């Protein structure tokens, strides 16, 4: 089975944190600008030993009350 560089990085991230992948979407942080893309995001998570949710900050996905 052949995987992409992004896929391999997610597998490395998932094995460490057992966490869901980052999903681009409306309202999501601009990780392209912050980390040069999802590979950079996962690299930074592994480096800091934290999930992407903790790294980009909590509250970004909460609905306003």
Domain count, the chain: 1
- What's the pLDDT score for residue 37? 93
Cβ contact 29:1 at 8 Å = no
CB atoms within 10 A of CB 52: 21
Domain enclosing residue 24, as ranges: 5-56
Judged on CB neighbours under 10 Å (0-12, 13-18, 19+), 17 is middle
User: Does residue 33 belong to any structural domain of this protein?
Assistant: yes
pLDDT-derived band at 1, boundaries 50, 70, 90 = low
6-62 pLDDT, tens per residue? 999 999 999 999 988 888 777 788 899 999 999 999 999 999 999 998 998 855 555
C-alpha R_g of the chain: 12
Q: Is the pTM of this model over 0.75?
A: yes
User: Does residue 29 belong to any structural domain of this protein?
Assistant: yes
Which residues are within 8 A (CB) of 27 and not within 5 positions of it... i.e. 6 or more apart? 60, 61
């Amino acid at each position: 089975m052949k995987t992409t560089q992004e896929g391999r990085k997610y597998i490395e991230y998932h094995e460490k944190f057992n966490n869901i992948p980052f999903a681009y979407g409306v309202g999501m942080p601009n990780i392209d600008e912050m980390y040069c893309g999802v590979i950079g995001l996962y690299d930074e998570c592994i480096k800091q030993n934290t999930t992407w949710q903790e790294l980009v900050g909590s509250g970004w996905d909460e609905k306003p009350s």
